[in-house]
Amino acid sequence: MSESPLKVTMKGNEAVRVPAYFISKHEGFVGSIKTFIEDFVVTEIDINGQKVKTAQVMQTAGCASSEETQMNAESKENLYCSGSQDADVTSDWEAGSDTPLPALGSFDLDVILGPSVSEDLEQFVMTLREKRPSGPELSLGSFADKHQRANVHRAVRHRFPFLLTITIQPEIRVREDPDYRELARLVREEEAEDFFRFIDAKVGGSSYTFGPDDSKEHRTAVHHFLNRRFGKLVETKSFSSQGRTSISVRLREHGKPKKRTAEERKDEDIYTAFTLCKENLETLEAISYMAAALGVLPSDFTYAGIKDKRAITYQSMVVKKVSPQRLKEKAAEFEKRGMRLSQICSVGEPLKLGRLQGNHFDLVVRNLRPHGASDEHFSGADVHGRLAALIKEAVENRRGFVNYYGPQRFGSGQSVLSDQVGLTLLKEDMVSAVRLFLSPEESDDPPSLAKRHFLQTGNAKESLALMPLSKPRERLMLRALNRYGTGPDGCVQAWLSLPHSMRVFYPHAYCSRVWNDAAAHRLSTMGLGVRQGDLVWTQTGQKRTEDTGETACPQIHVVTCEEEQAGVYSLEHVLLPMPGNSVKYPENAMRTWYQERLAGDGLAECRFRVSSLKLNLPGCYRPLLAIPHNLSYQLRRAAFSHGAKKQESVTESPTLSLNFDLDSSCYATICLREIMKCET
């Protein structure tokens, strides 16, 4: 791509706070998207380049019929953009949205047990914490279905690893695990909880390390307890580091918990792949419903990427511990909830996050007109010819678009955006981060009332009672604040109550904001050419990270003066770094910009680690430009009557159908914005 003399155009928009720098000069047009659900159809493209709704099941779900197929799939995995979210479809992750968390490890117990029993369980746990009596039990009720009982056992054990769940069919009771109580006398309670979660995870070969302990006598007592209680399951050893001694526990590769039956072991090895078509549902909302119906945890489902709610979407999934036959039996029930399952088959492993090449979009843009033209002054015979010329010019532009993160990344429409929460977390101000997270909207809807009550009173228990069940993130945090307090330590525990994927989302949102602003600054100050000191990728060195879709290549090339003059690289080769502790910055004016921007945000000395929350941000590289592939379009004319009587006027409302592919982590709405030259 040669440099154009065209100046970069900017249209600011404070509502979405995404820069709108355009790299092409066509006029564009106005229109509306997502008028109807069927106007926005997203189809995942698997690692073999096949659309999942038309591909053979072997391709979509990794059902390898031969070793060669398996090896081909694995070798291709690293060649493609493998972002965990199809960037335009990450509205699931907006701060304060109604969407469940990505990879939530458990159900909301209010949903499983009912609010009353869940509250009784919370009170039971608080009593154990405060008085530590011996031998009390609490009944959770009766559950006739064995899958429902299994679901209750898993969910309670995950939420409270220090409890034993006991079935006296069909009743389930809970009491404190005496082994946990004994371990909690030897180590800190937080360590005891983490250790029991580690044991329950059953990941062979994994390890857990207790905090430093300089007393040999005390370490011996811990060793004796672990070997007596978990000797068939774990190996323990002491090791020294920097003058301190700690105990490390390793889960044996073939160790199995004593209580697991042969049937349970058989279920553990079952993986079933399928293609999910959902309509007007979040990906994780669909997973939560399917998990509850099947008696498994949401974390038993794996997928390549998150898809949008306001759309019809097709994507590959794999569920653990559910046979193909059982999944087929539930298909009719799922269809009533807007989910259609197809291409169901057995596979040998879960689906890896990011295991996709990209996404195909089938979009319809309605209410088309030129910029500056109103509906009443732009109708009839003028429509088709004028619009056809504008659309042809816009769509046939082959320069691509600036690869901005879309407003979904930051929680568009929220009073406090995700990147603001992320910045506060990077500053390690946990109390302020919690208050930002729980900031209400201006409305008086139930979630806002609950948040407002917490900010005004600090009473987490009352706020939890007010918070709707559809807000799992807020409920998890309020529950932790009620348990641990609202001070700095309690707020750390509140953040730790969220899964790692959710905690790290907020700092990533901040880094995405910096990337967007860096891209806008780079284009406005340095133009559309490749400059000395820019970072570029080469075909042989490009690689994408599995969890973000950005380039993470250890051999980033820095453009030389000679290469700039010779025009060796084009703008589509240029990368900009996402801030982190392992990235290289451009060796030109952009390096200074990054330094000044981070310093201005109070992060001049930031190491992009938040140890208390177990967060580490190494950073990555994102291409400055994105280019749609296989783009086609069709302009249609549709007539609508303005009344019930035939003699009343009829207005022709043209629609535009657009079909194209994008690499993973690229936003279709940002692509449309470049085409239309307006906010979509």
Catalytically active residues, by annotation: 308
| Beta strand segments in 225-333, E | 234-241, 244-251, 271-279, 301-303, 312-320
Residue 331's H or E segment, with its range, is helix 324-335
What DSSP character marks residue 660? E
For residue 334, count other CB atoms closer than 10 A to its CB: 19
- Strand-pair category, 30-33 with 171-176: unpaired
Which alpha helices (DSSP H) does 438-573 contain, by range? Answer: 446-457, 460-466, 472-484, 488-496, 500-526, 561-566
What separation in angstroms does the CA of 119 have from each of 122, 271, 675? 5, 35, 52
User: Max alpha carbon distance in the chain (Å)?
Assistant: 96
Question: Contact 58/65 with Cβ under 8 angstroms?
Answer: yes
What separation in angstroms does the CA of 366 have from each of 31, 386, 654, 658? 5, 16, 7, 11
Residues 6+ positions from 5 with CB-CB distance below 8 Å: none
Which tokens is 287 given? 């997973």
Kindly compute the dihedral angle of the four CA atoms of residues 157, 163, 167, 171, in this order, to the nearest 10 degrees.
Answer: -90
Type of residue found at 317? M
Closest CA to 377 of 651, 56, 76: 651
Which tokens is 474 given? 């807020």
For the chain, give percent helix, strand, coil, nearest 5: 40, 20, 40
Question: Residue 578: helix, strand or coil by DSSP?
Answer: strand
Residue 220's H or E segment, with its range, is helix 216-230
Residue 630's H or E segment, with its range, is strand 629-641
Question: Contact 537/572 with Cβ under 8 angstroms?
Answer: no
Which tokens is 436 given? 């930002």
What DSSP character marks residue 602? T
Question: Residue 75: helix, strand or coil by DSSP?
Answer: helix
Examine residue 170 and say whether the peptide bond preceding it is cis (omega within 30 degrees of 0): yes
For 639, list phi and psi in degrees, rounded to 5.
-105, 135
Which tokens is 154 given? 């898993």
Closest CA to 668 of 355, 280, 407: 407
Question: Residue 98: helix, strand or coil by DSSP?
Answer: coil
Cα gap 523→8, rounded to integer Å: 7
Exposed, middle or buried: residue 2 (CB in 10 Å: 0-12, 13-18, 19+)?
exposed
Cα gap 507→503, rounded to integer Å: 8
Cα gap 383→374, rounded to integer Å: 12
Question: Contact 528/399 with Cβ under 8 angstroms?
Answer: no
What separation in angstroms does the CA of 218 have from each of 237, 458, 505? 14, 40, 39
Question: Residue 646: helix, strand or coil by DSSP?
Answer: coil
